[in-house]
């Protein structure tokens, strides 16, 4: 049995609480949440605390707070030489307090409190300074997910940047699609099967093989028609730039 | 029973052939395919022809060829006052020959020959000049899809532009994500659950509600870290521009 406590009250903290409560071999001991009633637990054996001095000694402390609060929270843990990890994609492992052993436990997924997620499919990117800590993290991660990876800080940074492209920026393109539909009185629902298929396709083809459209074909007639159609300046610039990038890519 | 012939040998033509062969109330009569062996049919009752003069009279001719060939092919059909439609998202209905009745039968999906698709979920956008032709197209479309819409030419143009954003451009962002992974020695597979969830999320939330990330939070520390990390100039420019667009959007 590995004992864990979680510090944080946001989306990641909540999803980890839910996942660990269902896990074998894991005893979730405490959740530190400064705001009351923001974390829901299934079991009464997990206590929610508001004071760092109430923290009990456990095998692993997981800090799931916003990036800029990680260092400060790590300094508040009233123990020494315990394993303390954060869950951020973009913060260095080294930013954690030197008093304890350091590590990273980064779930690479878009997590919201409201939408339940199958944690078994969430890739967990682990980092630690020693082999024994990596082993401990691996046991913990495997108890809630089938996708566990050892990822160093530079690789994690690269994944975080890549995730911005495939998640944040992709979602913004969906928003542009929805805005164009709205402006022209058609339902955004018409585009949803296409969006589903676009994401599904990369399980069968590489993105390079899956690329289609006027830019890929260098179909300047259609490209110019589309640019004439667009009136919003950001939309127009995005259209031009990604079209250029697709064309440049074809030249490599 | 409605009789149909299809002119074309590309992805759309092949997918329509496969869909209509399974449809009740539809008799697929001929497929005009200039290139031999590029179209596969299940049934021997469908004949593949190479000469326009072999075309038989049917209720509906569907021209599924590249945009710039549509007008020419429509002029080759040796009949008058028959219903002739094209399948393009960006070509005007008016570009079809005046000798026959005009219409559009636009499947809004990314169709490849190799990846089998469930046509029942492909939105079909219909246009015709008269109510009776719209009715005929509606019957035909409903025989292969559960998602049938009447869409005028301007709306269709807007859908086509929106589709470029949510499909072509989104796929290019996937390609950038894959390139960043490759450069840093991590598997693109780690990003696939995130991509799946990004597409899935818009069935529960509007893209506006689903937006997360450093741009949405105006987290300039992370944004600058990411820009420092990127070395490819197109990737850098795309990062900057979409970040700006997300921030501008938040100001509306």
List the CATH number of the domain containing A218.
Answer: 1.10.1040.20
**Which pLDDT score is estimated for A40?**
79
Q: Are A86 and A111 in a shared domain?
A: yes
Nearest by CB: B121 against A166, A180, A193: A193
B237/A233 Cα distance (integer angstroms): 16
Q: Are A216 and A97 in a shared domain?
A: no
**Which pLDDT score is estimated for A195?**
97
Residue B175 belongs to domain spanning? 156-251
pLDDT at A113 over 90: no
Per-residue model confidence as pLDDT tens digits over B115-162? 778 899 999 999 999 999 999 999 999 999 999 999 999 999 999 999
B101's tokens? 């009745």
Q: Nearest CA of chain A to the CA of B199: how many Å? A: 6
**Which pLDDT score is estimated for A191?**
97
Q: Are A212 and A127 in a shared domain?
A: no
Residue B226 in contact with partner chain A when CB distance is under 8 A: yes
B residues 4-63 closer than 8 Å to A (CB): none
Q: Are B106 and B144 in a shared domain?
A: yes
Q: Are A63 and A144 in a shared domain?
A: yes
Listed in sequence order, the residues at least 6 apart from A94 whose beta carbon sits closer than 8 Å to its beta carbon are A102, A153
| Mean pLDDT in residue range B69-75 | 98
The number of domains in chain A is 2
Burial of A63 (0-12, 13-18, 19+ CB in 10 A): buried
Cα dist from A210 to A104, A175, A218, B106, whole Å:
34, 22, 16, 20
Could you tell me which residues are beta bridge partners of residue A182? none
Cα dist from B184 to A157, A212, B98, whole Å:
10, 26, 57
Q: Nearest CA of chain A to the CA of B26: how many Å? A: 24
Q: Are A88 and A192 in a shared domain?
A: no
* DSSP H or E stretch at residue A101: strand A101-107
- Chain A residue with CA closest to B106: the answer is A190
| Mean pLDDT in residue range B190-214 | 94
Least confident of A112-126, A142-156, A173-187, B22-36: A112-126
B97's tokens? 């020959």
Residue B231 in contact with partner chain A when CB distance is under 8 A: no
ipTM for this prediction: 0.91
B137/B103 Cα distance (integer angstroms): 8
**Which pLDDT score is estimated for A251?**
78
Q: Are B138 and B189 in a shared domain?
A: no
CATH of the domain at A27: 3.40.50.720
**Residue B245 near residue A240, CB atoms below 8 Å:** no
Per-residue model confidence as pLDDT tens digits over A187-236? 999 999 999 999 999 999 999 999 999 999 999 999 999 999 999 999 99
**Residue A84 near residue A96, CB atoms below 8 Å:** yes
Contacts A–B by Cβ distance under 8 A = 311
Per-residue model confidence as pLDDT tens digits over B83-103? 999 999 999 999 999 999 999
Q: Are B223 and B129 in a shared domain?
A: no
Residue B130 in contact with partner chain A when CB distance is under 8 A: no
Do A241 and B241 count as a contact with CB atoms less than 8 A apart?
A: yes
Residue B40: pLDDT band by 50, 70, 90 thresholds? confident
Residue B207: closest CA among A121, A39, A110, A118: A110
pLDDT at A116 over 80: no
**Which pLDDT score is estimated for A37?**
72
Interface test with A, best of B11, B113, B157, B164 (most A CBs within 10 A): B164
**Residue A173 near residue A195, CB atoms below 8 Å:** no
pLDDT at A111 over 80: no
Q: Are B167 and B226 in a shared domain?
A: yes
Q: What is the mean pLDDT of chain B?
A: 94
B residues 75-94 closer than 8 Å to A (CB): 90
Residue B169 in contact with partner chain A when CB distance is under 8 A: yes
Interface test with A, best of B10, B123, B175, B241 (most A CBs within 10 A): B175
Residue B71 in contact with partner chain A when CB distance is under 8 A: no
pTM for the whole structure: 0.90
- Indicate the pairing of strand A26-32 with strand A47-49: parallel
pLDDT at A252 over 70: no
Strands (E) across chain B are located at: 2-7, 26-32, 47-49, 60-63, 83-86, 101-107, 124-128, 148-150
Chain A contact set for B213 (CB, 8 A): 164, 167-168
B184/B197 Cα distance (integer angstroms): 23
Q: Which of A101, A125, A151 is the last residue of a domain?
A: A151
* DSSP H or E stretch at residue A128: strand A124-128
**Which pLDDT score is estimated for A85?**
98
Query: DSSP class of residue A20?
Result: H
Q: Are A127 and A188 in a shared domain?
A: no
Q: Nearest CA of chain A to the CA of B55: how many Å? A: 31
| Mean pLDDT in residue range B156-174 | 97
Measured from the Cβ of residue A85, the count of other Cβ atoms closer than 10 Å reads: 27
B208's tokens? 């506006």
Per-residue model confidence as pLDDT tens digits over A41-93? 767 788 999 999 999 999 999 999 999 999 999 999 999 999 999 999 999 99
Chain B contact set for A226 (CB, 8 A): 90, 160-161, 164
Residue B45: pLDDT band by 50, 70, 90 thresholds? confident
Residue A251 in contact with partner chain B when CB distance is under 8 A: no
Chain B contact set for A201 (CB, 8 A): 110, 115, 171
A95: number of CA atoms within 13 Å, CB side? 17
A222's tokens? 């259609």
Q: Which of A130, A151, A172 is the last residue of a domain?
A: A151
Q: Which of A151, A168, A194 is the last residue of a domain?
A: A151
Q: Are A7 and A130 in a shared domain?
A: yes
Per-residue model confidence as pLDDT tens digits over A156-187? 999 999 999 999 999 999 999 999 999 999 99
Q: Are B23 and B135 in a shared domain?
A: yes
Query: DSSP class of residue B57?
Result: P
Nearest by CB: A222 against B90, B112, B229: B90
Residue B252: pLDDT band by 50, 70, 90 thresholds? low
Rama region for B128: left / alpha / beta (φ>0; ψ in -120 to 50; rest): beta
Residue A203 in contact with partner chain B when CB distance is under 8 A: yes
**Residue A163 near residue B194, CB atoms below 8 Å:** yes
Q: Nearest CA of chain A to the CA of B198: how many Å? A: 6
| Mean pLDDT in residue range A140-144 | 98
């Amino acid at each position: 049995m590995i004992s864990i406590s979680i510090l944080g009250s946001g989306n990641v903290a909540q999803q980890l609480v839910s996942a660990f409560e269902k896990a074998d071999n894991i005893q979730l001991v405490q959740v530190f949440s400064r705001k009351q009633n923001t974390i829901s637990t299934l079991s009464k054996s997990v206590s929610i605390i508001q004071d760092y001095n109430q923290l009990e000694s456990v095998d692993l402390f997981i800090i799931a707070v916003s990036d800029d609060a990680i260092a400060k929270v790590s300094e508040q843990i009233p123990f020494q030489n315990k394993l303390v990890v954060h869950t951020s994609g973009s913060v260095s492992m080294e930013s954690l307090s030197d008093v304890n052993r350091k590590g990273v436990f980064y779930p690479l997924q878009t997590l919201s409190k409201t939408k339940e997620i199958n944690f078994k499919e969430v890739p967990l990117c682990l980092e630690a300074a020693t082999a024994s800590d990596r082993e401990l993290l691996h046991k913990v991660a495997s108890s809630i997910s089938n996708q566990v990876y050892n990822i160093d800080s530079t690789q994690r940074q690269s994944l975080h940047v890549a995730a911005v492209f495939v998640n944040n920026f992709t979602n913004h393109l969906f928003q542009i699609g929805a805005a164009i539909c709205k402006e022209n009185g058609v339902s955004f629902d018409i585009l949803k099967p296409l969006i589903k298929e676009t994401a599904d396709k990369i399980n069968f083809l590489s993105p390079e093989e899956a690329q289609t459209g006027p830019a890929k074909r260098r179909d300047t007639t259609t490209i110019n028609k589309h640019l004439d159609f667009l009136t919003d300046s950001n939309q127009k610039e995005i259209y031009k730039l990604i079209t250029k990038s697709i064309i440049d890519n074809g030249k490599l």
